Amino acid sequence: MRFLLIFLGVLLVAWRWRTWRTAVQRERKDIIRTTPAITNMVVCRQCGVHIPVNESVAGREGSYCSAAHRLTMEP
């Protein structure tokens, strides 16, 4: 009888540990899914502001944060 109680106790602890571990893994997957994608950044040649590549204005001499800055640097 004593061994049966010990065996059931070990099974209960193993079951609880496995349930906890599965929950932690789900939380980690949710955190990974919610992180934004990394984008490359460029520096405006006029003012030095860092902006994403997809939002920059390309010029002959480099990237700019706006068309006005491109026009002042590249006549």
* pLDDT, tens only, 13-48: 999 999 998 888 888 877 777 667 788 999 999 999
The b-or-e profile of 31-46 (16+ CB within 10 A means b, else e) is eeeeeeeeeeebebbb
Sign of CA dihedral 26, 29, 35, 36: negative
Whole-model pTM: value is 0.51
* Average predicted confidence (pLDDT) for the chain: 88
Domain boundaries, the chain: 1-35, 37-75
Residue holding tokens 């193993």? 14
Residue 49: pLDDT band (50, 70, 90) is very high
Q: Which ranges of 35-66 would DSSP assign to H, the alpha helix?
A: none
Do 52 and 40 touch, CB atoms closer than 8 A?
yes
